[in-house]
Amino acid sequence: MVTVQSAEDARHCHALRVRLGASDRVDAPWVERVPFASDEPGAARHRARELARPVDAGRGSRAVLLVYTDGRADLVVVAHRSAYGQRALRRLAAALLDPARPAPARGQGAVPSGSGHTPDWGLGGPAQGDARDGHRVALPEGTSREPEGWLAALAQVLSRYEPERTPEATALDAGDRAASPPATPVSAGLVFDLGGEGEYVPCLAPVFPLTVTVGEDGLRCDHRLGDVSTPIAEQFVRHLVEAHRRLTGPPGILDPAEHERILRLGRAAQPLKSTPRRIPDVFAERAAERPDALALVDGDRTVTYRRLDEWSDRLAHGLRAAGAGDGTLVGVCLERSAQLVAVLLAVLKAGAVYVPLDPAYPADRLAYTVEDSGTDVVVTESAGFPGSPGVRVLTPAQVLESGGAAPDGPPATGAGPQEAAYVIYTSGSTGRPKGVLVPHAHVVALMDATRDDFTLGAADVWTFFHSVAFDFSVWEIWGCLLTGGRLVVVPYWVSRSPEQFHGLVAARGVTVLSQTPSAFTQFAAADRDTAEPLAVRLVVFGGEPLDTRSLLPWLDRHPGDRCRLVNMYGITETTVHVTAETVTRRLALAGSRSVGRALPGWRVYVLDARGRLAPPGVAGEIHVGGAGVALGYLRRPDLTRERFRPDPFGGGRMYRTGDRGRLRPDGALEHLGRLDNQVKLRGFRIELDEIRTVLAECPGVTAAAVTFRQTDPGDAATGRLDAYVVLSEGSTADVRERAARVLPAHMLPSTLTALPALPVTANGKTDLAALPEPAVAASGGGAVPAGGEDGLSGELLSVWRQLFGFTVGLSDSFWELGGNSLLAVRMASLMRERGLPSLHPRLLYLNPTVRQLAVALKG
């Protein structure tokens, strides 16, 4: 076993072997007789061991003369670089062979500082520790070995691999540079073989995490597997050779073959087999195949494919009569229900475009979306829906009445598959949401790209769990109905109770479950507490980053061969999903950040700041091309041009995601977070600048800042938005009330803190890192001790203190203290563990203080 000290010594040692002929005679005390002929495998193993044995700096050098049975001999000299540089090592060997020659003085070498910078792009395996690998690369005849050219090439490669660092091209034994070790730890460096008699071993262990030796016979690469994987090391050396070749030609590190290879990594192995079609046309095929099969289950109500087809036909004719036609935008603001699905399908059959509106959103946000989109008709059951001049607001019943008698099929329409099917509004950095136009053909392509791999079909039962204004609902609704499955509607309050949701999934025999990681964490906890068997065979994750390690308890109960877990990466602008990765136990144990390879028809590129392909392992901005790229932003031509750009690699357009990522050598994409001011919170994409703008527009606010905090990276429930304002008048309560009229619940900050001024950096920008801990809005209501006259209130106060980490009062609001839906579920679990009354999340929404909740629980 190599000790830590000897491993470090090996990094700073080099060696030389000089072959002696049978007639050579050297008399020395360091002779070792080897019981093998010089050309036998045993002799080779013996030589290799001697060449790999390091010495420490104090000893300086070690020499042994290996004499073989055939009379030949090898002189092996190992030296510590701090004692003898490469030239001194060769002079030392010559002096050992010829005592008449002077031996070099010690202290003529140099060693690099530190232990090296472990590169992110190396994709090494920390578990492999000091294990090493290496390979050789031949160079074309005539290739220069001059240090200047190779140092320049190394600097160019490092600038592509590490754009955030100032590249330091470092070399040992590079002529006059021999005494100039690197001043700071580096990830890759050069060693130059100066040539001469014998076999030179430049390092017994890699000098740098990735060490490339330039010699007369080509390049030699040595690397620690804990720092740099073998595929990445081989790739780096290829790029180094190409950069050196092109120093006098076109700049860059990728030759045409390498460029094409990286492009192939970002594409699926199989091509997409999909014909552009409209969603209603594909649905009609499924309805014709199995007209009496159940399409929808909504509580006690069931709807067959035939009934849904006829129902949506009537609604489509009613919409046409109400003024909705080809290309018309129709707002749909309905609770999750069978009726909602029928209306969405009807909008598409009418040739129109649906604009989903969540009834839970504030009235101001609903009114903004209707006005910004230019919606002509809104279908809703809400009597208080904010009207707008020129917009017809109808109930589903009124739409049916407008359609007259039962029609014979859907209305005629000239809408084509490349025209928009829906417009989903996402958070916008300018302070206002923006609508994304997605055509029919893209939704159909998504189903065609996944159907065979996921074996989706008529035997499947799906859940409709998510808000219709969240694009995960596109996958749930149309993924089910376009493949002939059965869609189970999950009522809003059931979706907020993991126990009730688990019961519904079990009772309905759900086989395909779509979840954000945050929601699934609570579902999996409910699963551990029940013996109810599940029929779930496929779980699709999306909406936010997945900590794969959190899936291990689920895999213990539901092995991967019975329930497949698929992590998918996607964006609204690229039609829900882009990549897919099946999460195995091995990946979960490793904490893999991979989101898999591109779906058939989709293309993934990782580009640097200048729009060039980043080599595998190197981080850059994720761009997406291919079948899913949306039509653009509704009425935002400038923003569309900025984010949707011509695809120089595959034709058409590609979308700049703003996400940071990297490709692995096998083509899997790793998602590494955001490059901008956008965050993901419980599955929702949120632009912090939108919240800041809303706050800044409130009366009395002169400045505002918003930050995202997650106290436990592995627990999504601890994620929250903290806001800070500078007030010239009014109070934070006034600001919160005004913001709540504009922002949906998931975008409303958990805390709102007033400051005399926002801290700024030296260049005048808000210094987010210097913002203080947020103030917690508390009423000051006194706590009632547990076991007192009101024991339940005391128990609840104790639960809240455990949940929030600070003392709370009887009149403090759960939501104003920073509570969220995930913490509400956590609270219900803690209460259950303490034997307190069962808590349904709806009860907490209606009774947000300890005092109110205690009364409600007793009643």
- 97 & 149 share domain: no
- 693 & 748 share domain: yes
Count of domains forming the chain: 5
- 106 & 13 share domain: yes
Q: Which of 96-105, 146-155, 257-266, 453-462 has the lowest mean pLDDT?
A: 96-105
Q: Rounded to an integer, what distance in angstroms lies between the CA atom of residue 653 and that of residue 662?
A: 20
Q: Is residue 290 part of a domain?
A: no
Q: Is residue 648 part of a domain?
A: no
SS3 content of the chain, % helix, strand, coil (to 5): 35, 25, 45
Residue ending a domain, among 357, 391, 416, is 416
End-to-end C-alpha distance for the chain, whole angstroms? 69
Which CATH number do you get for residue 799?
1.10.1200.10
pLDDT at residue 179, rounded to an integer: 38
Q: Over 50: is that where the pLDDT of 691 sits?
A: yes
pTM of the model: 0.77
Contacts of 789 (CB under 8 A, 6+ apart): none
- 754 & 831 share domain: no
Extract the runs of DSSP E, i.e. beta strands, from 36-91.
61-67, 73-80
Q: Is 561 exposed, middle or buried (0-12, 13-18, 19+ CB in 10 A)?
A: exposed
Q: Is residue 712 part of a domain?
A: yes
pLDDT at residue 413, rounded to an integer: 95
Q: Is residue 274 part of a domain?
A: no
- 95 & 76 share domain: yes
- 132 & 177 share domain: yes
- 126 & 247 share domain: yes
Q: Rounded to an integer, what distance in angstroms lies between the CA atom of residue 798 and that of residue 61?
A: 68
Contacts of 713 (CB under 8 A, 6+ apart): 547
pLDDT at residue 164, rounded to an integer: 82
pLDDT at residue 392, rounded to an integer: 94
The answer to whether 615 and 120 have CB atoms below 8 angstroms apart is no
- 119 & 107 share domain: no
Sign of CA dihedral 757, 758, 761, 765: negative
- 353 & 399 share domain: yes
Segment 343-359 mean pLDDT:
97
Q: Is residue 603 part of a domain?
A: no
The answer to whether 276 and 468 have CB atoms below 8 angstroms apart is no
- 104 & 124 share domain: no
Residue 614 CB coordination number (10 Å) = 23
Domain carrying residue 723: 688-770
Which CATH number do you get for residue 379?
3.40.50.980
Measured CA distances, 276 to 33, 412, 499, 600 (Å): 78, 19, 41, 15
Give residue-wise pLDDT tens across range 21-64: 755 555 566 889 999 999 999 999 999 999 999 999 889 999 99
Q: Over 60: is that where the pLDDT of 788 sits?
A: no
DSSP state of 783: P
Q: Is residue 194 part of a domain?
A: yes
Q: Is residue 195 part of a domain?
A: yes
Which CATH number do you get for residue 760?
3.30.300.30
- 801 & 764 share domain: no
**Whole-number mean pLDDT of the chain?**
87
Q: Is residue 258 part of a domain?
A: no
Contacts of 317 (CB under 8 A, 6+ apart): 350, 402, 403, 404, 407, 410, 411
Residue ending a domain, among 416, 443, 463, is 416
Q: Is 11 exposed, middle or buried (0-12, 13-18, 19+ CB in 10 A)?
A: buried
Residue ending a domain, among 111, 139, 163, is 111
- 128 & 106 share domain: no
Q: Over 50: is that where the pLDDT of 855 sits?
A: yes
pLDDT at residue 776, rounded to an integer: 62
Q: Rounded to an integer, what distance in angstroms lies between the CA atom of residue 264 and that of residue 276?
A: 24
* 3-class secondary-structure state, position 82: coil
pLDDT at residue 28, rounded to an integer: 62
* 3-class secondary-structure state, position 562: coil
